[in-house]
Amino acid sequence: MKRTANQATVELLQGDITQQETDAIVNAANNSLLGGGGVDGAIHRAGGPAILEECRRLHGCATGDAKITTGGNLKARYVIHTVGPVYRDGRSGEPDALASCHWRSLEIADERGLETIAFPSISTGVYGYPFHEAAGVALMTVKRYMEDCNSGIRLVRFVLFNQPVYDAFENAMIQIWES
Ligand code: AR6
């Protein structure tokens, strides 16, 4: 499923983000940027040691911020590492932090002149963010960014690992683009 936001196509796909051929893929990392499980582990495994080597020189990343490295052996040229919030109760700043992850990742892609970027469903695995809520925050933030910023990004793809998460993004997309 896809929709348009200003000059960009926003697309939903079920699949594995490590296989994407976009200019950058976004990693759901932790504050250390030194690797972990989930999509973070998969990206480092597929991309090889060059990514971790560069991450070591970045001295971590704050929650809601993002930093860029090479894509190593990935098809994507770059990995944008962002750190999502650990979900507590939804009233402890989690939506703002999650929105910031998406916003900062898009800003960094624009700073590098990238045109295509793929996101996973940030914070909805180990970090426990309910994926129905996260889908709305993620898509709303991308739509706002495209409408408010003079972005050169032409494709924002969400690569969702399983059907329930894909369905949640599809529902959120329909609601957000209809309103
Ligand atoms: N492609 C796309 N999505 C994936 C893939 C993949 N290859 N593998 C998993 N997912 P998580 P978080 C989905 O836990 O919640 C790490 O240890 C997964 O199904 O990877 O932000 C980090 O180092 C889920 O929907 O990220 C941090 O410590 C989504 O990606 C912590 O986990 C996010 O799940 C970050 O937790």
As a whole number of angstroms, the distance between CA 106 and CA 73 comes to 22
Ligand 1 atom 23: the closest Cα is on which residue? 36
Model confidence at 143, pLDDT cuts 50, 70, 90, reads very high
Averaged pLDDT for residues 128-154: 98
Cα(131) to ligand 1 centroid in Å equals 12
Model confidence at 179, pLDDT cuts 50, 70, 90, reads confident
Q: So what's the pLDDT on residue 78?
A: 99
Ligand 1 atom 20: the closest Cα is on which residue? 38
Ligand 1 atom 10: the closest Cα is on which residue? 39
Question: Over the stretch 59-117, which tens digit does the pLDDT of each residue have?
Answer: 999 999 999 999 999 999 999 999 999 999 999 999 999 999 999 999 999 999 999 99
Residue 28 CA: nearest ligand 1 atom is 21
For ligand 1, say whether the CB of 46 is within 6 Å of any of its atoms. no
Instruction: Answer whether residue 124 shows pLDDT above 90.
Output: yes
As a whole number of angstroms, the distance between CA 109 and CA 67 comes to 10
3-state secondary structure of 137: helix
CATH topology of domain 2-178: Leucine Aminopeptidase, subunit E; domain 1 (3.40.220)
Q: So what's the pLDDT on residue 151?
A: 98
Domain layout of the chain by residue ranges: 2-178
Nearest to 96 by CA among 126, 57, 65: 65
Write out the two tokens for 130: 């309910």
The pTM for the full model equals: 0.98
- Identify the bridge partners of residue 159 per DSSP, sorted by sequence position: 13
Instruction: Answer whether residue 125 shows pLDDT above 90.
Output: yes
Residue 128 CA: nearest ligand 1 atom is 15
Question: Over the stretch 6-45, which tens digit does the pLDDT of each residue have?
Answer: 999 999 999 999 999 999 999 999 999 999 999 999 999 9
Q: So what's the pLDDT on residue 174?
A: 98
